[in-house]
Structure 1
Amino acid sequence: MSKYALVTGATSGIGRAYAERLAAEGYDLVVVGRRRERLEEFAAAHPDVTVRVLAADLSTAEGIDAVAAVCATEPLTMLVNNAGVAHYMPLADLPAAKATELVDVKVLAPTLLTRAVVAGMIERGEGTIVNVAGMIAFSGPAPHAQMPRRAVYGGSLAYSVAMSQTLAAELEGTGVTVQVVCPGVVATEFHTVQGLDLSAVPRMSAEDVVTASLRGLELGEVVCAPGVEDAGLLDAVFRADLEVFGAQSPELASRYR
């Protein structure tokens, strides 16, 4: 079967790096983003593969439906759910419209695109779904003084981790692989768009994130953390999760009596 991938948020940053790498590996592509001119520039620069341009805003129902239709009807071998917005601010300061946009782009869109693509992948017996999240997914226990509060953003990334892990188990034996990628700070336009100057902060390249993701798939990692040297730390987190899950009881815990 030919290699055929759809990448959201493909106009810049990590999404663009995925599209570049996959094109170099011979994938035909559907590139999705809000800025049609950038998508068309990408397509023109990659004449050796077939590149379909799909301008869509994944913060809208119309945009999600347009991309989901492609996911449901085209024989995709890979889906990269990368599109994102940040809106870093405390919940009390977060306008309702921005909260809605964030949840639509980082929670609703990946869920519905994955739902649309997965049945066909199961039927064909192969496929890869990659969800791009971030290390902020693990930052929930951080004290107030340690980092700026961004509850909705952090929660959306944590959702991506939990959904990806659960879906990976659900699809075991089908030939369909699921991965969630959790980079730290990456050198892209992402933070600049939010008005944040991180030029003085050490940052990973988008290309390195993609390298980690693709190698992580080869290693069988469901959770890929490109900047974490000791993978045992992740294993410890997930073992602890399962220990807590398995320790539940119908009896009220003594500390609450």
Structure 2
Amino acid sequence: MTDQTSTDQAAQTPATQTSARRERLALITGASSGIGQAFAQRLGAEGYNLIVVGRRRERLEELVATLPNVSVRPVVADLATNAGVQAVADICAAEELSLLVNNAGVAHYMPFTALPADKASELLRVKVVAPTLLMQAAVPGMVARGAGTIINVAGMVAFDGPAPAQGRAVYTATLAHLVALSQQLHQELEPQGVQVQVLCPGVVATEFHERQGIDLSAMPRMSAEDVVTASLRGLTLGEVVCAPGVERTDLLEAVFRADLAAFHAQSPQLAGRYRMS
């Protein structure tokens, strides 16, 4: 753990230092690389103290070394396991988090019939179970304090369910879960001072696809730093769904209006196309 050593901090009392830390504490999962690492770097530069979660201790220690001016607590945990989720959930419940970034991810692109059960389970635990349970642990404290922010990192793949694609049905579904959950939580928690955002980048220049054995080096990709810039700016704009690479926000709004139109168009009567002639 590293501690801030500025002259301003030296002039503060221990009580005010503790208060400042609590007001600016962020927990980031999947912080050892890619978007999570970019969030840690940006938030650290903005004065947040950090709890950084990842599976690779050496990567977390490297990250800590790059952030000498804030307190950084590395936590080694595998969010694909019950023990890992519980350990991080306990931290979320105990600490006065001002920001939770659910970023940890795994892909396992392969046809549904070829996807081993253990890999399907890992996908669901990392992208569905873990974010849900970490939010459940963190939100009561945020509500009690009347302030807090949650960023759930999903992706534009969440919107391509009808697209002709092979090998990512479960992955797409996990991201769609994060979109729907974040939208509902925004409605529920905003009146209590908690802001929820779901971050949906397109293809990003990180190790993510390389770890799946997919070479996207020839494809134009957004930087992780730009994704973080969009997310933080999106918070100030009040965006619930942040799509860093989508210029026309009306396209997203049209999707959500269509969803609501279909929902409200339902009837207790059987639709005509299902009635026997």
- Whether 1:239 and 2:260 are equivalent positions in the alignment is no
CA distance in 1, matches of 2:100, 2:116: 31
Q: 1:252 maps to which residue?
A: 270
Q: 2:10 maps to which residue?
A: none
- Whether 1:167 and 2:185 are equivalent positions in the alignment is yes
Spell out structure 1 runs of 4+ moving beyond 4 A: none
The structure number with the bigger radius of gyration is 2
AA aligned to 2:259 is: D
Where in structure 1 are there 5+ consecutive unaligned residues? Answer: none
1:77 is displaced (CA, Å) by: 0.1
Q: 1:203 maps to which residue?
A: 221
1:90 is displaced (CA, Å) by: 1.3
Where in structure 2 are there 5+ consecutive unaligned residues? Answer: 1-19
- Paired residue total: 254
Q: Deviations over 1:213-233 (max 9, x none)?
A: 000000000000000000000
Give the superposed CA RMSD. Answer: 0.7
Report SS of the residue matched to 1:54.
Answer: strand
Question: Counterparts in 2 of 1:17-32, with a 5 A limit?
Answer: 17-32=38-53
Question: Counterparts in 2 of 1:1-257, with a 5 A limit?
Answer: 2-142=23-163, 144=164, 147-257=165-275
AA aligned to 1:183 is: P
CA distance in 1, matches of 2:144, 2:174: 29
AA aligned to 2:230 is: A
CA distance in 1, matches of 2:53, 2:190: 28
AA aligned to 2:117 is: A
Report SS of the residue matched to 2:273.
Answer: helix
CA distance in 1, matches of 2:194, 2:261: 27
1:44 is displaced (CA, Å) by: 2.0
CA distance in 1, matches of 2:226, 2:166: 26
1:73 is displaced (CA, Å) by: 0.6
Report SS of the residue matched to 2:205.
Answer: coil
Q: Deviations over 1:179-213 (max 9, x none)?
A: 00000000000000000000011100000000000
AA aligned to 1:254 is: G
The percentage of aligned residue pairs carrying the same residue is 68
Q: Deviations over 1:65-93 (max 9, x none)?
A: 00000000100000000000000111101
TM-score, reference length from structure 1: 0.98
1:38 is displaced (CA, Å) by: 1.1
CA distance in 1, matches of 2:40, 2:118: 30
CA distance in 2, matches of 1:154, 1:40: 32
Report SS of the residue matched to 2:214.
Answer: coil
